[in-house]
């Protein structure tokens, strides 16, 4: 059976709104949807938001950790965190095409048990979950299809001598020419279409 491995946050699970609401709660800031981008939080200590006519105030690294605890440790995770649009239907299509689907995530804030509850709550055909993984590229190695929303996790797979997986980046960025062999898609429908075309 062919293997598809994918990230969790931002690829299967839409974390934007739960993150925005949690940050508002712990920081006391008003963070409007149109000013919020979760990606800016990754690897950053602060994220600035203007508050009316007053001075700019930042979300601190401590508040970010508190927000993650609120999201991942609080009750109702499956209700608060929705799947990315179209992901459930697409995963069932991919499973029907003969792909065994697994999750590989570097997220340290959530337990494997909570992710499994989320998977079962939304009836997703996923067979394996690996969390708290700092070296995602190594875990992705050996898969036939890899889906992520960060280019850095895919680049290392290009040098694998034994297998050349189908690499898909869910993004709206323009890839440099040297990464032309990475398939750029904007949603899970694109993942299904490209996988079907490349496997046939």
Confidence at residue 50, expressed as pLDDT on a 0 to 100 scale? 53
Shared-domain flag, residues 48 and 72: yes
Point out the domain boundary residue: 79, 108, 129: 79
* Count of CB atoms situated within 10 Å of the CB of 40: 12
Model confidence over 59-109: pLDDT tens digits?
777 888 888 888 888 678 999 999 999 999 999 999 999 999 999 988 777
Point out the domain boundary residue: 57, 79, 101: 79
DSSP string, 31-64: --GGG--GGGGTT-S-EEEE-TTS-EEEE-HHHH
Model confidence over 122-179: pLDDT tens digits?
999 999 999 887 777 778 878 889 999 988 888 877 665 545 578 888 888 888 888 8
**Residue span of the structural domain in which 71 resides:** 16-79
Point out the domain boundary residue: 79, 97, 131: 79
- Quote the number of domains for the chain: 2
- How far CA 34 is from CA of 30, 38, 88, 145, in Å, comes to 12, 11, 26, 33
Contacts of 134 (CB under 8 A, 6+ apart): 106
Shared-domain flag, residues 130 and 43: no
């Amino acid at each position: 059976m062919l293997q598809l491995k994918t990230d969790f946050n931002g690829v299967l699970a839409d974390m934007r709104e739960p993150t925005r609401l949690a940050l508002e709660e712990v920081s006391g800031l008003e963070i409007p949807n149109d000013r919020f981008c979760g990606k800016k939080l990754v690897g950053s200590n602060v994220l600035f938001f203007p508050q009316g006519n007053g001075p700019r105030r930042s979300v601190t690294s401590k508040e970010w950790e508190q927000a993650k605890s609120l999201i991942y440790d609080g009750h109702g995770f499956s209700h608060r965190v929705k799947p990315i649009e179209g992901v459930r239907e697409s995963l069932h299509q991919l499973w029907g095409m003969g792909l065994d689907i697994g999750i590989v995530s570097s997220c340290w804030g959530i337990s494997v048990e909570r992710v499994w509850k989320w998977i079962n709550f939304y009836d997703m055909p996923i067979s394996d979950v690996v969390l708290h993984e700092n070296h995602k590229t190594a875990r992705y190695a050996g898969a036939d299809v890899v889906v992520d929303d960060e280019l850095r996790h895919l680049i290392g797979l290009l040098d694998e001598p034994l297998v050349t997986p189908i690499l898909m980046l869910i993004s709206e960025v323009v890839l440099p020419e040297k990464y032309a062999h990475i398939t750029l898609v904007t949603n899970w429908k694109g993942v299904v279409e490209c996988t079907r075309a490349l496997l046939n």
